[in-house]
Amino acid sequence: MDLKIAEAILKSNAIIYEKMAKDWAASRITPPEQLKELWNKYGKGNRLLDLGCGNGVAFSAVNKQITDYIGQDISQTMLAAADFYIKEHNTGTNPIRVKLLLGDVLNIPLADASVDVVLCFGVLHHIPSSELRQKAIKEIARVLTPGGQLLMANWNVRCWHSVTRQKLWHLWLGRSLPSLDKNDSWIGEEKKNLYIHCFHKEEIKSLISKADLKIISNDYVGHGSTFINAWHLITVAKKI
């Protein structure tokens, strides 16, 4: 994909998420079950970075096991909602240190090896071009401590539910849309204007292998265990 097109898509996605931030935050008041299950199985470490933190709902799933929570999002409105949500749930005798950052996964304003766990739920699939997706994974690896873990989920919009509901037939037919790469699409309930990339398991493996990370698990999850019926592709990787 042409870099100028990719940069325009990144800006467009940021504008869209800012516009829908209030409704998005109001509709998500508890952590997804898959996030809780993943954290309970793999979550280890004191300092956590929540990329694409939204309104901060992940905080209530992890706050009994960490000392520092860093939330980052591309939407200022989302961060304001996260600040409100976290203050309501950060009520223990030893409150967790919290920092909220405005920014994207391509430029994380943290030092090398500064966090033990990175949550990246519903983020990487919004990054256009293979070049920028690789840059994002390498940036995640950079901020992880040795042995630190990446817990990542991406939407599987090739599943039958998404393909039929949003008429994404080109993903099954192997066709490309104008200006986009193969396995790219536009989604959205009212207007298909939000960019998304649909990953295959092998593509995730390739990205991880080029970024000083090692795959622990990489599975289709939710409403099934294959790309035909599962709603998510969930990946766990460890910093080498």
pLDDT, tens digit, for every residue of 142-163?
999 999 999 999 988 877 677 7
- Listed by start position, the domains of the chain span 3-239
Across the range 151-178, mean pLDDT stands at 80
Token pair for 73 = 């999002």
C-beta separation of 228 from 220 below 8 A: no
- The dihedral sign for the CA sequence 113, 209, 224, 198: positive
The fold adopted by the segment(s) 3-239 is Rossmann fold (3.40.50)
Cα–Cα dist 179/173, whole Å: 17
Determine the pLDDT at residue 125. 96
Reply yes or no on whether the pLDDT at 191 is more than 70: no
What is the pLDDT confidence band of residue 79, given thresholds at 50, 70 and 90? very high
For residue 90, list its beta bridge partners: none
Residue type, 66: I
Burial readout 167-204 (b: 16 or more C-beta within 10 A, e: otherwise): ebebbeeeeeeeebeebbbebeeeeeebbbbbbeeeeb
| Nearest residue to 116 (alpha-carbon basis) of 53, 67, 60, 61 | 67
